[in-house]
Amino acid sequence: MAAPVAFFAVFFAYPVTAIVRRGLQSDGTWHIGRIADVLGRSDIRHVLWFTTWQALASTALTLLIALPGAYVFARYDFPGRHVLRAVVTVPFVLPTVVAGTAFLALLGRGGLLDELWGVRLDTTVWAILLAHVFFNYAVVVRTVGGLWSQLDPRQEEAARMLGAAPLTAWRKVTLPALAPAVAAAALMVFLFTFTSFGVVQILGGPAFSTLEVEIYRQTSELFDLSTAAVLTIVQFLAVGAILAVHARTVRRRESALKLVDPSRTARRPRGAGQWTLLAAVLTSIALLLLLPLAVLVQRSLTAPGFGYYRALTDPDGGTFLVAPIHAVGASLSYAAAATAIAVVIGSLAAAALTRRDTGRLVRGFDALLMLPLGVSAVTVGFGFLISLDKPPLDLRQSWILVPLAQALVGVPFVVRTMLPVLRAVDVRLREAAAVLGASPWRVWREVDLPLVRRALLVAAGFAFAVSLGEFGATVFIARPDNPTLPVAVARLLARPGDLNYGQAMALSTILMVVCAVSLLVLERLRSADRTGEF
């Protein structure tokens, strides 16, 4: 646990504490009264209300649309099912900037709806809600559908044979078994939408602001660290509560069910009703998930002769110190370094969490690892600037600053991917190797590593995709001569002109393709070995 704890202490707790202290402390005195002053402001109360309201609405809408999809992927066997299952996961690993850009191409100025019917939705709450469904559809399908596919259908069939109507049998038998998974998925969707930044920043305009967006505005535009510090504390407490409830829900899910092989539960659709449901789900996937991505690609190709892509090689656009295409190589380099860091730290943390004899200490450590997913990435990025500026940790001019921030987000994915596999390793194998004289390092190399190698590759793939799309922290610390892809897209969208807009679409398409390829490789690895489940 020593290395992960040290990593999180230096590169997470220290920067967050620094920015909170800078905002609430002056001349060695803490000004706690600032919290009440900030929370008493009408504009801040509006931000808190909108953040909570849109997260609840996004969660409800996502469950309404995605639960039928979870059922179809769990119970129906149809051609292309595994490929489509990978496709619906693509939006989740896409950077939020790409999701926002895709819906901007669909709903915004000059978008598909604007061209066909003269309708624009890019500065309305509906654009935000639909983009959140697009982004979180896979969370419900993977979490609920993964469990649904392992529930024995004979229990519900027995209830129907005893006279229960189909809806009653589902409500009395299946729904109680699914409830922990539905609750876990709902909490994760609520967490992601409660801390939404890129989607709201691009689609919301000046009228809508979540806590994350407001923290960014207070730090980068208004330089009001007191308000930013208070909002950071509020978000930290809210996220901590959500994660605590989520952990309890997941433990209930893990311990309360008898599961069967998923290959025994899926069958071909039968009857008009089942085929209609399948068609409806496929249509919703096409409209909500595939259409925005298709429009994004189409908009990037509107200039003759791949004009927007060729313009990416021109360094004279005025937006960057280098040609925009340079962001591709920079992002790949940063993501590779962040993946290496996340895999090392995450693997050590997962190994520590497999120990079952340290009780509350390990559970607290597990919760600590999840905090970067919910704590403001904007706060972390700005905290890097104001805390890592003195020897021996003066990293402001170092390239490693960006990978360190990206690795903070990648570590939880590595831990969650490797932990079930490590816990499944029979402890007697390790003990036998130790009795035969193997050192702890050799036990890991000869026993654990062959069993977890594929999970390690999957974890590395997730960390790479997540690092590639990190935006909230890198928008502060990415250097103008070495921008990442999400930062480059956001800067292009912020400038007027069709050329900048088209280049943003082209860069977003490149980023989408890289993430999609990474995910398809992950799905191939996962299909070969079903030891873990996302």
Please give the average pLDDT of every successive group of 10 residues along the chain, which has 534 residues.
90 87 76 84 92 95 94 86 80 81 83 78 85 91 80 78 80 80 86 87 83 87 84 84 73 52 70 89 92 90 88 73 85 92 91 69 72 77 83 82 91 82 77 84 80 79 83 83 87 84 89 78 61 41
Which of 371, 374, 349 lies closest to 361, judged by CA? 349
User: Cα separations (Å) of 122 from 208, 302, 484?
Assistant: 11, 20, 25
Separation between Cα atoms, residue 202 and residue 460, nearest integer Å: 29
Instruction: Provide the token pair at 346.
Output: 């995450």
Task: Report pLDDT for 83.
Answer: 79
Task: Report pLDDT for 20.
Answer: 83
Task: Report pLDDT for 359.
Answer: 59
Task: Report pLDDT for 527.
Answer: 58
Task: Report pLDDT for 358.
Answer: 54
Please, which contacts does 40-43 make with residues 24 or more away whose CB atoms are closer than 8 Å? none
What SS3 state is found at 394?
Answer: strand
Task: Report pLDDT for 469.
Answer: 82
Beta strands in 21-103 (DSSP E): 25-26, 29-30
Contact 198, 96 (CB under 8 A): yes
pTM reported for the whole predicted model? 0.81
Task: Report pLDDT for 522.
Answer: 66
